[in-house]
Amino acid sequence: MTQTTEYTAVFTGTTRKRLDEILTRYPTKRAALLAALWMVQEAHGWISDAAMAETAEVLDLTPSYVKGVVTFYTMYHQHPVGETFVQVCTTTPCDLCGAEGVVQALLEHTGCGELGATSPDGKFTVIEVECLGACGFATPVMMNEDFIEDVTPDKVPDLVKKYS
């Protein structure tokens, strides 16, 4: 994962227009922060210090305030992640239904080896998350923005292939 030193601004052109539209929904600029951070992550894949500074600037906030918010919410990445970010639920209901086996199969087939690590080919990062709100469809797995239900260890190889 290489980190570019040149930072490309996010809030220009159509993205700036989208943000301007979102700003009309709230009485304060600050309230658009979560949406703005989603746009940054969509553009860059993660939220760097430079991105926090840009976001702070467009919303009249301080970079440290923005960092405080970014670090509070678990879905914002503070570091680059694999092309496909994999989130597996292991909370009690899913644990009862065998989530641990799904985690092991994912770690093996993606080549990540351990939780939180990115696979050597840069394609995957696998993490365990708390309840995804789909406990009756154990085990739910998120592959980036795709939400996949009823994953079992034997379905993992095909799933990984699809995203490779």
Partner 1 sequence: MGYPHKPHEKETVVLSEYFGDAEARSYDGWTKRGGYKALKTVLEMGPSDVIEIVKASGLRGRGGAGFPTGLKWSFMPKEKSKPHYLCCNADESEPGTFKDREIMRWTPHALIEGCAIAQYAIQAEITYIYIRGEFTGPLRVMQSALDEAYERGALGPDAMGSGKRLDMYIHRAAGAYICGEETAMMNSIEGRRGNPRIKPPFPAAAGVFGMPTTINNVETLAAVPHIINRGPEWYKSLCLGNERSVGTKLFSVCGHVQRPGNYEVTMGFPLGELIDDMCGGVPSGRTLKACIPGGSSVPILNKEETESCILDYEGCVEKGTMLGSGGVIVFDDSADMVYQVMRLARFYAHESCGQCTQCREGTAWTVRIMERILAGQGEMKDLDLLLDLSHQMTGTTICVLSDSCAAPVESGIKKFRDEFEAYIVGSREPIMAAAG
For residue 125, the 8-state DSSP code is E
To ligand FES, the closest distance from the beta carbon of 93 in angstroms equals: 4
- Taking the least distance from each CB to partner 1, the nearer of 121 and 131 is 131
58 binds ligand FES, rule: CB under 6 A: no
Interacting residue with partner 1 among 45, 93, 101, 122 (CB under 8 A): 93
Residue 56, CA distances (Å) to 16, 18, 30, 46, 52 in order: 14, 17, 9, 16, 6
How far apart are alpha carbons 160 and 151 in whole angstroms?
Answer: 12
51 binds ligand FES, rule: CB under 6 A: no
| Binding partner of residue 110 among partner 1, ligand FES, none, CB cut-off 5 to 8 Å per kind | none
Stretch touching ligand FES by CB under 6 A, among 47-55, 79-87, 127-135, 141-149? 127-135
Residue 125, CA distances (Å) to 52, 111, 156 in order: 23, 9, 15
How far apart are alpha carbons 12 and 107 in whole angstroms?
Answer: 38
Which residues between 1 and 40 bind partner 1 (CB under 8 A)? 25-28, 30-35, 37-38
Query: Helix 33-44 to helix 49-58 angle, to the nearest 10 degrees?
Result: 140
132 binds ligand FES, rule: CB under 6 A: yes
Residue 38, CA distances (Å) to 10, 19, 25, 32, 41 in order: 11, 11, 16, 10, 5
Place of tokens 């658009």: 32
- Taking the least distance from each CB to ligand FES, the nearer of 134 and 143 is 134
List residues binding ligand FES (CB under 6 A).
89, 91, 93-94, 131-135, 140
List residues binding partner 1 (CB under 8 A).
25-28, 30-35, 37-38, 59, 68-69, 72-76, 87, 91-93, 95-97, 129-138, 142, 145-147
